[in-house]
Amino acid sequence: MRDRAKNVVCETCHAPLATLTDPTERVIDEGVTCEACHAIRDVGENAAEPRYTFDLAANRKFGPYCDGKDNYFHRMGCAPWFRDARLCGGCHTFSMPLADGKSLPIINEYAEWRASSFSVSGTACQDCHMPPEVDHAATGSARKVRLGQHGFMGEKGDLVRKALVIVASATTRAGKLVVSVELKNEGAGHAVPSGLPGRQVVVRVQALDEKGRAQAREERTIGRVLVDEAGREVPFYAARAEKIDERIAAGEARTFAFELDAPKAGSLVIDVAWRSMSPALSEALGVPVEERSMGKIEMPFGGHRSGKGREHLPKTVVARP
C-alpha cells in the first residue's frame, strides 16, 4: 500500500523514528516499537490533533511513573499523561487531503472517542487497550500495581469480543422465522468496526434443522466504504469520497431484520463476526480476508422436548461479552 500511495507519508505514524534517527538504525523497521511511545517527551495539550516531541538524544524513557531510577541502559523520564488518551490521539487521527481543499478522515478513533461518553467519564484508550496488571516493569524493579498490559487488542487478542452486546429475538409468522438482531456498542470507546476503512461487521443468521443442516441463511454487513471518482470501493489512498458509513457509534445500537424459511424444529444460529476488510478491498489488494468471532447465539425452537431444552418462540436472548 505504501508503494502505491504516492501522495501521503506513511512513516510519520507507522515508522515514527524514521526521520529522527540514523537511517541505518534497525529500530526504524520495527515500526510502532517501544521507542515510538516511550521516547515521547511531550504531547501538545490542546488535543484536537496532538503533536509529539521525541527525546532520543538523552536516551530517556518516559512512562506514567515518576519514581524510576536511571540504569546502565537508559535514563528515566516522568510523564503521568501516559495514561491520557492524547498520547494515542496523534497517531490515531489521520485525514487525507483531497484535490478540492477538503479532507477525508481515514483513521478517526480519537475524535470518535472525544465525542463519546467515555471521554466524559475519563475512560481513556489505555483503560480498555492496556488494562492494569500487577507485575515488575523490569527484572529487579519493584512490583507495580498497575502495569498496562501491552497486548493492545487484549492479552489473547480477543478484545473484539468485548465490543458488542447482541440481542436476538425470534418469532414465527406465516411459516417463516422472523428474526431481529440488535447490536449495541457498549464496549468500545469509538465506532465499531473501528480502524482502517473497509473493516466490516457481519451478522449471519442461519436456520438449522434437527440434524444440524442449514436450511436457510441470510447475512448483513456494515462498515465504512470509501470510493474513487467512478464510485468503486478502493483502498483509502485512492479514495476521493465516503460512500457509506454504517458503523455503530459508541453507545449506539443498530437493529437488523431477517426472514427465513425455517424447518418446524431445529435451531437458529446468530453469528456476529469481525472482518479485516471487505471482499472488494481484499481483491484490490490481493490480501486474504481475516475473520474473528464477536459473539454467537444459538436458539433452539419447535419440537417440545423439554429434556433437550427445546423452546417455543417468541423468545429473546441476550449475549453479553
Q: Residue numbers of the site for ligand HEC (CB under 6 A)?
A: 1-2, 5, 8, 10, 12-14, 16, 32, 34, 36-38, 63-65, 68, 82-83, 85, 87-89, 91-92, 94, 107, 109-110, 113, 118, 123, 125-130, 137, 144, 146-148, 150, 152-153, 159-160, 162-163, 187-190, 192-196, 199, 237
Residue 152's beta-bridge partner residues?
Answer: none
Q: Which has the closest alpha carbon to 59: 76, 37, 82?
A: 76
Nearer to ligand HEC, 108 or 206 (CB): 108
| In the complex, least distance from residue 180 CB atom to ligand HEC, rounded to whole angstroms | 22
| In the complex, least distance from residue 228 CB atom to ligand HEC, rounded to whole angstroms | 15
Look up residue 41 and give its three cell numbers.
Answer: 517527551
| 82 φ/ψ angles, rounded to the nearest 5 degrees | -65, -15
**Which residue type is seen at 283?**
E
Nearer to ligand HEC, 137 or 318 (CB): 137
| In the complex, least distance from residue 239 CB atom to ligand HEC, rounded to whole angstroms | 11
SS3 264: coil
Nearer to ligand HEC, 229 or 290 (CB): 290
| In the complex, least distance from residue 167 CB atom to ligand HEC, rounded to whole angstroms | 17
| In the complex, least distance from residue 20 CB atom to ligand HEC, rounded to whole angstroms | 11
Asked if the peptide bond before residue 193 counts as cis, ω within 30 degrees of 0, the response is yes
| In the complex, least distance from residue 264 CB atom to ligand HEC, rounded to whole angstroms | 38
Nearer to ligand HEC, 155 or 261 (CB): 155
What burial class does residue 224 get, using C-beta atoms within 10 Å of its C-beta: 0-12 exposed, 13-18 middle, 19+ buried? buried
Nearer to ligand HEC, 150 or 320 (CB): 150
Nearer to ligand HEC, 44 or 195 (CB): 195
| 43 φ/ψ angles, rounded to the nearest 5 degrees | -125, 130
What is the rounded CA–CA span in Å between residue 113 and residue 123?
Answer: 9
Look up residue 107 and give its three cell numbers.
Answer: 483513521
| In the complex, least distance from residue 313 CB atom to ligand HEC, rounded to whole angstroms | 31
What is the rounded CA–CA span in Å between residue 290 and residue 239?
Answer: 22
Q: Residue 36: enclosing H or E segment and its boundaries?
A: helix 34-38
CA distances in angstroms from 295 to 40, 42, 160, 169, 230, listed in the order given: 37, 39, 9, 15, 36
Nearer to ligand HEC, 158 or 259 (CB): 158
Q: Which residues contact 87 (CB under 8 A, 6 or more apart)?
A: 37, 40, 43, 50, 81, 125, 126
Nearer to ligand HEC, 50 or 263 (CB): 50
What is the rounded CA–CA span in Å between residue 29 and residue 36?
Answer: 11
Look up residue 174 and give its three cell numbers.
Answer: 406465516
| In the complex, least distance from residue 105 CB atom to ligand HEC, rounded to whole angstroms | 11
